[in-house]
Structure formats: structure tokens, C-alpha cells
Amino acid sequence: MGKGSEQALRLRRVGIDTYRENVAYLHRDCPVYRTDGFQALARVEIAAAGQAHGQAQAHAHGRALDQAHDQAHDQAQAHGQARTPHHGHLARVQAILNVVDDAGITAPDELGLSEQAFSQLGLPAGARVTLAHAEPPESLSAVRRKIAGARLEEADYLAIAQDMVAHRFSKMEIAAFLVASSQGGLDRDEILYLTRAMVATGERLEWGEEIVVDKHCIGGIPGNRTSMLVVPIVAAHGMLIPKTSSRAITSPAGTADTMELLADVELSPDRLREIVRHHRGCLAWACTPRWWSPTGASPLAGGSARCWSCAMSCSAWRTPPTPLKTSARRPCGWPGGSSSSIPMCAADAATPSPATSSTPAAP
């Protein structure tokens, strides 16, 4: 169990986007900082007051969440409803500690969290939380073995994936795993183990159709935009093609970057499913966060949310696509389509219009 303080602090949401890095803010005059040996840039664990710290408790809490999600999933299927995504509010998170001297950021009796960390914790502002020194992730020993050139087993890769998904790895530790895997290489079994671990810890999109198609190319060729031509053609012929693409890797702009000039490509799983069901295809960035949004709310959780592309208040995330006339503009100022109606703040500029997608042409 991580060593920490029993003194509860008031949770504060600090409006800072730290780009997928969980950051906690503690005032230098906070009694917890003075008495429990916390230092700037230390890794800490934040939990709801009264909840025990440590990885054993975190695993138990995670299993309870998974069981509740599985039961909800089974009930939804029994009633013919759509699969409910597991957004994973944790009631505990790990973060890098920043020490502040400005009470305007965090008061001495408060603990501040960056946008992403606050969203993951799932507690309201003002809730009572406790702080503890974070334990090193158990799977870090497997990473050290990989750095030394050892071959890892399936259980090792599953543990590594689980700890990464739970944000127990720092960016440096993730980089160490990637470099070790790249330099030492993975044999065929290890590739299989890692793939299975990614599937087991990620969210699977179940399309419920016999044929789901995809398109691949070698990539890395500047100006090669075959996906933007192939996807609409395939979708117009009625085949399901939920295409994910990458941003720039070896060229100035990847397919997702180019597509983003026309439409939003950062789509939540729910939004991706909605667009694909309506249009039979789409182009989306493959690395979109699963459920995080700038407001800290799930994009489809209801209430006012923010469009990830324009960062302005928008209700389109919680309502079905609303056709607009061609003269209308999106909340972010992007004009409507040129010849057909478009959904507000949707990414379907890359896909056939509702008129064409509802009656696809025969192959």
C-alpha cells in the first residue's frame, strides 16, 4: 500500500490541458506536502476519501467496474440495445505532482487536477480526496527484463497493457518499453501476446455485420491520399468501411491531417459508430482518446459538451445529426456543405450525404 496522508483535501478542477499527462497540483503550504515528504515531479495516487490506496485495491476496484460493465452489457444485449461503452471513471488516479505557490491555482487545503486527471477520477469538484505516494507498477519488472533482452510471456504483456491503460506508467516508462521492444524485437508469439493484450484492455467496436471491410497501403508516400478516394466509393456501394488513419509520420501531413481540413477526425467510439451506421463509412484518427473531452465529460453523456475540433459549446455531441441548410455554419464557423445538408459538428464531410448513403448503389 502506498504511503500517504489520512488528511483529506478538497478536490479542485484546474483548467489546464496537459495533453494526456495526468498532473496534480499541491500548494507548498499544504500540511500534507510539509508532513508526508512529497516532492515536485513525484508520482502520486489520488483516491476518494475513505478509499484505500495501493495496487491491490485498484485492481479490485477495476474488477468491480468490469463486472458491473459486463452485466450492463448483457442486459443491453438482451433488450436489443446498443453496447454501452466502458468509460472507466476510476475513483482513483495516478498523476505527476506539481508544487505551486499561487493560491489562485490551488489553495493550501485543496488538491488540483488537470483536465484529463479530473475526468478520469470521476468525482465532482469539492469532493474530499486523499493523496499517497504511488507504488511502481508491478509490470515494470517485465519491462526491465525486456530491456535486458529477455522474451516475455503472455501474462507479462497483459500486465503491461493493464498498467498503461490505468495510467500507472510514466511517459518515460512507456518510452523505455517501446525502445526495448524495437531494439530487441518481438518474436511471433510476443507479437500475438501483445496484440491480445491490446484487444483485452481496449474497447472493441462490434458492428454486427457479416462483412466489415478495410483498406491498407504501405503508407509514408507524400501526397498519397487513396483512402480519401476509396472510402466514399466503397461506402456508396453499401459496404461497411470504418476507416482509421494516422497523422503525419514520414510526411508533412498524414491522411488524418488532410481529412481534418474538411471535417473533425477525433471521434469518440459512440460518435464513430453513429456516423458509420448512418453513412456506411468514415475517416477517423486512429489515436483519438477513448472518452476524454476538454470539458471532462463524455461526448455523449448529455448536457453541454465541447466539440473537440472547435472547443466551443455545442449540443451536437448529445443529439442525432441535425441537417442544416447549405448556408448554415457550424458553431466553430466552418461553413455547411456545398450541395447537401450536413450534420452539425459531424465528421461526415468525408462520407456520402444522407441521400446517397440511405440508398446505396448496387455493386
Q: What is the mean pLDDT of residues 250-258?
A: 81
Confidence bin at 317 (pLDDT 50/70/90): very low
Confidence bin at 28 (pLDDT 50/70/90): very high
CB 200 within 8 A of CB 161: yes
Q: What is the mean pLDDT of residues 338-354?
A: 33
The Cα–Cα gap between 106 and 109 comes to: 8
Of the given ranges (148-152, 228-232, 317-321), which has the lowest mean pLDDT? Answer: 317-321
Q: Is the pLDDT of residue 105 over 90?
A: yes
Q: Is the pLDDT of residue 1 over 50?
A: no
Q: What is the mean pLDDT of residues 173-179?
A: 95
Q: Is the pLDDT of residue 94 over 60?
A: yes
The pLDDT assigned to 194 comes to 97
Helix and strand numbers (H, E) in the chain are 11, 12
Distances (CA, A) of 238 to 193, 267, 323: 35, 22, 22
The Cα–Cα gap between 307 and 154 comes to: 39
Which of the given ranges, 18-22, 65-69, 103-107, has the highest pLDDT on average?
Answer: 103-107
Q: What is the mean pLDDT of residues 247-272?
A: 86
Percentage with pLDDT > 90 across the chain = 50
Of the given ranges (101-110, 210-219, 319-328), which has the lowest mean pLDDT? Answer: 319-328
Domains of the chain: 9-133 (2.40.40.20), 140-201 (1.20.970.10), 226-358 (no CATH)
pLDDT averaged over every residue in the chain: 74
Residues 6+ apart with CB under 8 A from 167: 22, 93, 94, 120
Of the given ranges (49-63, 117-131, 280-294, 342-356), which has the lowest mean pLDDT? Answer: 342-356
The pLDDT assigned to 4 comes to 53
Residue 6, classified by CB atoms within 10 Å of its CB into exposed (0-12), middle (13-18) or buried (19+), is: exposed
Confidence bin at 362 (pLDDT 50/70/90): very low
Confidence bin at 20 (pLDDT 50/70/90): confident
Q: pLDDT tens digits, residue range 319-334? A: 333 333 333 333 333 3
Q: pLDDT tens digits, residue range 49-61? A: 988 765 554 554 4
Name 130's bridge partners.
47
Residue 105, classified by CB atoms within 10 Å of its CB into exposed (0-12), middle (13-18) or buried (19+), is: middle
Q: Is the pLDDT of residue 355 over 70?
A: no
For residues 129 and 359, which has the higher predicted lDDT (pLDDT)?
129
pTM higher than the cut 0.75: no
Q: What is the mean pLDDT of residues 39-46?
A: 94
Of the given ranges (49-58, 197-206, 209-218), which has the lowest mean pLDDT? Answer: 49-58
The pLDDT assigned to 220 comes to 63
